[in-house]
Amino acid sequence: MNKALRYLFALIVGMVVVWSFLLPDAKGFAYPEFARVFFWHFPCPILGTVFLGLTCWFSFVYLKTKDLKWDIRAEAANDLTFMFWILTMLSGIIFSELQWGIWWQWDPRQTSFLLVLLVYSAMMAFRMSLADETRRAANTAAFVLASAAPILFLIYIFPYLPQIKASSFHPTGSIMEGKIRGAYAYAIILTLTITSILSAKAYKMRVQIGLIEFALDNSDGQLEIPRIDPAPTAVVRPILLSDED
């Protein structure tokens, strides 16, 4: 992205943020002006799921090829997934306090996301405990693939079970049922687009940094001084220092 495009993108982001605040307040909320949290809450689980899919795919390819570059890509995608899960949780907690008057109420949606965050925290602890990079890559990839099914169950199946859905405050199917229309729908599409572009850029940068670190690690041996002719040809003789000095 060249400089002009970056400025244009920053301008668009600013305009969308300002426009989202100029929209009329949504109806049916305790604090309608704060319902705008949804604009930034909604893209987070969507993008988290996209990056989770990428993490699983890169982990699978790593296990097949054993090429550490795929592990770098998987790690970058995994970091962004974790970040989006945390943002989902934080924006959800803020909305919960504003709408239902309580930060944490063990709502099934909140609880299922808490379990997902626990799985990711365990994944981070596990990754840090393995010193050897090849073993770390293989074992983390296996753990990612083993945890994908429980994570998807917790996010996309558990909250939609009839008895769970009935006991949850969290609205479900608002978009699919066409409850969000007009300017609010456009605002959500715009925030989703902006967040997608930003996260794609962040992912690309994270991978580039990882690949540079990988290249540097592999070039350590080549950075040493050549030892073909390490000593000078001239003979260094001891010299006598004067006592007067």
Partner 1 sequence: MSSTWRSEITAVLGKELRSEIRSKSGIVTNIVFGLVTVVTVSLSTYNQQIDKDIAASLLWVIILFASILSLPRVFLLEEEQNTADLLRLMGRPEAIFWGKALFNLIQILVTALIISFLFFGFTHSPLTVPWLYVVSLFGGCASLAGTVTLCGALVSRSTNRSTLAGVIAIPLLLFLVEMGVSGMRVAIGPFETDLVLGGGIRAGIGLVAYAVMTFAVGPPLYAQVWKS
- Alpha-carbon distance 89 to 41, whole Å? 9
Q: Where are the alpha helices (DSSP H) in the chain?
A: 3-22, 37-41, 43-65, 68-100, 108-129, 133-152, 162-167, 182-218
Footprint (CB under 8 A) of partner 1, residues 148-187 = 149-150, 153-154, 158, 163
Question: What does the block give as tokens for 60?
Answer: 């699978």
CA atoms within 13 A on the CB side of 122: 12
Q: Is 61 in the site for partner 1 (CB under 8 A)?
A: no
Nearer to partner 1 among residue 80 and residue 154 (C-beta)? 154
Question: What does the block give as tokens for 120?
Answer: 């990711």
- Alpha-carbon distance 49 to 46, whole Å? 5
Q: Taking the complex as a whole, how short is the minimal distance between the CB of residue 131 and partner 1, in angstroms?
A: 7
Q: Is 143 in the site for partner 1 (CB under 8 A)?
A: yes
- Of the candidate spans 50-58, 95-103, 139-147, 216-224, the one that interacts with partner 1 by CB under 8 A turns out to be 139-147
- Of the candidate spans 3-11, 49-57, 116-124, 220-228, the one that interacts with partner 1 by CB under 8 A turns out to be 116-124
- Alpha-carbon distance 206 to 61, whole Å? 19
Q: Is 121 in the site for partner 1 (CB under 8 A)?
A: yes
- Of the candidate spans 3-11, 44-52, 130-138, 166-174, the one that interacts with partner 1 by CB under 8 A turns out to be 130-138
Q: Is 49 in the site for partner 1 (CB under 8 A)?
A: no
Q: What is the rounded radius of gyration, in angstroms, for the C-alpha atoms of the chain?
A: 26
Binding site for partner 1 (CB under 8 A): 63, 112, 115, 118-119, 121-123, 125-126, 129-131, 134-135, 137-139, 141-143, 145-147, 149-150, 153-154, 158, 163
